[in-house]
Chains A and B, each alone.
Chain A
Amino acid sequence: MAGISVVVEWAIVGLAFGSTLVGGYVGYQAYRGYRRHDSRAMRALSLGLVLLTTVAFGIAFGGSVLLRQGYLALDYQPALTLVTRSLQFLGVILIAYSLHSRV
C-alpha cells in the first residue's frame, strides 16, 4: 500500500511539473508574440500565463519543500497558500484583461 501512495505522490509532482512546462511554453510563445508585434494584449497574456502556471507552481513547490525540510515553520503554510492563490488570481485577471485589450 505504501508503494502505491508513493507512486501517486510522484505522479502528482510530475503532472504539476508538466503543467508548468507546458504553461511556460505557451507563456513564452505569447511573450514572443508581444516582442514581435509590440502588442500589449500579448504582454498581459504572457504575464498572466506565467503567473498562473510557472510562478504559482514554483512558489507552491518551493514552499512545500521548505516546509517538509523544516526550514519553514508550519504556521507559514496558510500564508504560502494565500500567496499562491493570489498570484493565480492575478494571472487570470491579466488574461481576462488581455482579452479586452485592443492594442
Chain B
Amino acid sequence: MSEEPGLGAVLDVLSDEYAREILAATSVKPMSAQQLAEACEMSEPTVYRRIERLREYDLLGERTEIRDDGNHHSVYTATLSELSVELDEGTFEATVQRRDTASFPGQQEDDTADRFASMWENL
C-alpha cells in the first residue's frame, strides 16, 4: 500500500468516462496508446491526456515493448483493482487496491511448472 493521494482527486480521475474506458480496456490486456485510441474510439491526444492523469495517481502501469523492427512503444496496463470508500464517524476512508503487473504471464507463480505452463500457453 502506497500513501493515497486525496480521495477527491482519485474520484475526479475516475469520474471521467474516457479514463474509465481506458482502465477497462487495459484491465484485459496491455495496450498501446494507438490501440486504445482505436478500441475506445478517441483521438490520440485524448488518450494521452487520460494516460497522463491515470499515471499520476498510479492507476495505470506503463512498460516499453520492443518490436521486431526495433521500434519501441509503450503499452499500458490497469493497476487499479479496487477502490473502496468507507464513511465512519465523520471521516471518509478510501482504500485503493492495486494489482501487480507482471511483465510476462505467470511471473507471480512460485512453482516452476506453473510459470512454465503460463508462459508457454500465452506465447
Contacts and interface: CB of A to CB of B under 8 A. Distances in A.
A33 B114 contact: yes
Interface in A29-61: 29-30, 32-37, 39, 41-42, 45
Nearest to A41: B121
A37 to B, nearest CB: 5
Interface residues of A, number: 15
Contact of A39 (B111, B112, B117): B117
A12 interface: no
Contacts, number: 36
* Interface range, B side: under 10
A30 B121 CA distance: 11
Contact of B120 (A32, A35, A36, A98): A98
A81 B112 CA distance: 34
Contacts of B123: 99
Interface in B66-123: 111-114, 116-117, 120-121, 123
Nearest to A40: B121
Interface in A11-37: 29-30, 32-37
Contacts of A29: 112-113, 116
A31 to B, nearest CB: 8
A39 B121 contact: yes
Contacts of B116: 29-30, 33, 42
B112 A42 contact: no
A40 to B, nearest CB: 10
Nearest to B113: A32
In order of increasing CB-CB distance, the 6 nearest A-B pairs are A33-B117, A32-B113, A33-B113, A37-B117, A33-B116, A29-B113
Contacts of A45: 120
Nearest to A36: B113
Given A32-B113, A37-B117, 16 more contacts: A29-B112, A29-B113, A29-B116, A30-B116, A30-B117, A30-B120, A32-B112, A33-B113, A33-B117, A36-B113, A37-B114, A39-B117, A41-B120, A41-B121, A42-B121, A98-B120
